[in-house]
Every structure is written in structure tokens, then in C-alpha cells.
Amino acid sequence: MANFKESASQTAGPYVHIGCVPTFAGLEGMYGGKDLGNTMITGNPAGKRITLCLRVIDAAGEPMTDAMIEAWQPGPEGSFGPTEGFNHWGRQPTDAETGEAIFKTLMPGAPTGQTPHILLWIAARGINMALITRVYFPENDNAADPVFAIAGERAATLVAEKTDNGYVHTIHLQGDHETVFFDV
């Protein structure tokens, strides 16, 4: 019996790490001992190196310590690659204690018709279909971006904060500062 509708989504569950970041999960030696997507800068690409520290906060105000976040972004010139020495895609688990997921990457450029941004995809226990959001940078004219504009008065939830240690961005699943999530 043929089905031609998208397979229904199910939660990644609490053990997503076994499948996607097995070394982080403690499976010694699996896949050569290196988690896929762990390193975005693999060579010496041109562009500005940045650190993006993400946290995901649940409705109780607690950082989620069992999530997995993927990032997909343009390179410094705004193209989606491939780019020598750079992976446009990265994947990080949130830290079991701090809840932080840290991406060491390049500052994205502007794809045609858009402002520089990184697409984020968040999977975890309790999330029935992975959540899609974007992160923008405070130094840019983000209002000119068509997707940023759709977010209207909640668009501020999409902008990272610049700190001495790089960019920091907190994703709130609910509450007064609930981050904008997209159906795209």
C-alpha cells in the first residue's frame, strides 16, 4: 500500500545522543570516535570566526540539558557552499549540566534577498516535531530581511547578543520571551 504523504514526525526522545552524537553519549569508538557535525571549521577558510553559544529554556525556566541543535548557514559570501575548509552544517548537543550548545563557526554572509542568519533546528524529548528558528546578528539591519519581518514585534527573540566571549542566544520555548518558531 503506497503512501505519498510525509512520514509523521515523532519526538527524538531522551536518547537522541546515541544515534546522532554517539561519542558524546559515551559509545566509545563509534563512527571513528568523532561525532558528525561537531566541527564546522575544518581548514583555514576566509571569513570571521565566531562562537555562538545557545541555550534552550523550557516553560519552567530551566535550561534543557538533553536537546540536540543543528545549524545550517551561508558562508561569509552568503552562499550555501560547498566551501573549502568549512562545513555549513553543524550539530551540537546541549551540555548535560549547563545546557549550553556551542558552535564555532564563521560569521554568515547575506544570501540574495536576505540578511545574514543561521537556521537552527532543535530536537529533544518533549518536542514532537523539531523546532525551526533563525538567529540574526545585532549589528545588521535585520528589519530588511523578509523572514525577520514576518516575526513582527516578536522579532527581537531572533537576535543574538554580542558579548566579550562571542555571541550568546537564548531560545525560550514558552513565556513572555517565547522565541519565534517557524513552519517553513
CB of 49 to other proteins, least distance (A): 20
By C-beta, is 17 or 53 nearer to other proteins?
17
Burial class (CB in 10 A: 0-12, 13-18, 19+), 47: middle
**Contact assessment for residue 108 and residue 102, using Cβ atoms and an 8 Å cutoff:** no
Q: Which region, judged by CB under 5 A, interacts with Fe ion, from 1-9, 12-20, 74-82, 103-111? A: 12-20
Q: Which does 121 bind (CB under 5 to 8 A by kind): Fe ion, other proteins, none?
A: other proteins
By C-beta, is 11 or 170 nearer to other proteins?
11
* Strand boundaries in 30-164, DSSP class E: 49-57, 68-72, 89-93, 100-106, 117-123, 131-136, 161-163
CB of 3 to Fe ion, least distance (A): 23
Task: Pick out residues in 159-178 that bind Fe ion (CB under 5 A).
Answer: none
- 65 dihedral zone (left: phi>0; alpha: psi -120 to 50; beta): alpha
**Which of 174, 168, 170 lies closest to 55, judged by CA?**
170
Binding of Fe ion by 45 (CB under 5 A): no
Binding of Fe ion by 13 (CB under 5 A): yes
Footprint on this chain of Fe ion (rule: CB under 5 A): 13
